[in-house]
Amino acid sequence: MNRNLVHLISQAEIVSTVRRLAVEIDRDYQDRSLVLVGILKGSFIFLADLVREIEIPIANIEFLRLSSYGSSMVSSGEAKITMNLPPKAIAGKDILVVEDIVDTGITTDTALRYLQNYQPASLRLCALLDKPARRQVPVKIDYLGSTVEDLFIVGYGIDFDQKYRQLPDIYYLEEEQDSETAEKANYPINQAMAAKN
Ligand code: IMP
Ligand code: MG
């Protein structure tokens, strides 16, 4: 199966989106002690860019890691915390969770519930992308970059099977059989091979 990268959001658009989010965050958290919690691994580039646009002092940056899709393009239906953080980093603090993309909402909801247990002073969510078409659990996104269609997104920290995180732009993966592959698939020999496998 061929997977084509289709361009979706340019680096320039990402830069202006990140700037806009930082302005909104600066405005809302003035005179407060902001703690950012990045959800690994997908948010690492977004978080790195966002912190450099935020002008108010950031009290702390922490990371939470949850189980992800693995090598499948379909959500497993549950999220597990695989790397947690010290409760004292959260208790009584103004926490802003930074997520790459909210899809079914399961991962983000799990992260927010986990953090809420440690009684932060406030808890909000900043997500670069929202894919509402596939939502299973309602999630309130306080700071949102862009809404995307029901597409499989890669680039700018977001992966497919751990690949493509390094791309500066955002793409979606299109599964396509080119005509040559399709033609070959129709050859009797290939059908026979396929039947064997
Ligand atoms: P959810 O639990 O289904 O909301 O998915 C959340 C996580 O799944 C995100 O933080 C991403 O790491 C991953 N994810 C969701 N949609 C995509 C996608 O389109 N491309 C790559 N990863 C995705
Ligand atoms: Mg993620």
Query: Could you read off the pLDDT of 141-174 as tens digits, one per residue?
Result: 999 999 999 999 999 999 999 999 999 999 999 9
Q: Note residues around ion ligand 2 (Cβ under 5 angstroms).
A: 42, 100
Give kind and range of the element (H or E) at residue 18: helix 11-28
- Structure-model confidence comparison of residues 182 and 17, the more confident one: 17
Give the pLDDT of residue 77.
62
Query: 13 to each of 9, 17, 49, how far by Cα in Å?
Result: 6, 6, 13
Ligand 2 centroid to Cα of residue 186, in Å, is: 39
Whole-number pLDDT of residue 84: 79
Which residue has a Cα nearest atom 16 of ligand 1?
103
Question: With 80 as the cut, is the pLDDT of residue 197 above it?
Answer: no
Contact in structure between 165 and 158 (CB atoms under 8 Å): yes
- Does the active-site annotation cover 178? no
The ligand 1 atom nearest the CA atom of 104: 3
pLDDT of residue 2: 84
What is the token pair recorded at 197? 């496998």
* Whole-number average pLDDT of the chain: 88
Evaluate if residue 181 carries a pLDDT over 60.
Answer: no
Smallest Cα–Cα separation from 94: which of 36, 52, 140? 36
| Closest atom of ligand 1 to CA, residue 43 | 10
Catalytic residue among 103, 109, 130, 159: 103
Residues in CB range of 103: below 8 A, 6 or more apart: 75, 131, 134, 135
Q: How far apart are CA 184 and CA 50, in angstroms?
A: 47
**pTM, full prediction:** 0.87
Span 182-196, average pLDDT: 39
Pocket of ligand 1 (CB under 6 A): 39, 42, 68-69, 75, 79, 99-108, 131, 152-154, 158
Q: Model confidence at 190, in pLDDT bands (50, 70, 90)?
A: very low
Higher pLDDT, 83 or 37: 37
What does the alpha-carbon distance between residue 64 and residue 70 come to, in Å, rounded to a whole number?
17
CA of 158 to the centre of ligand 2 (A): 7
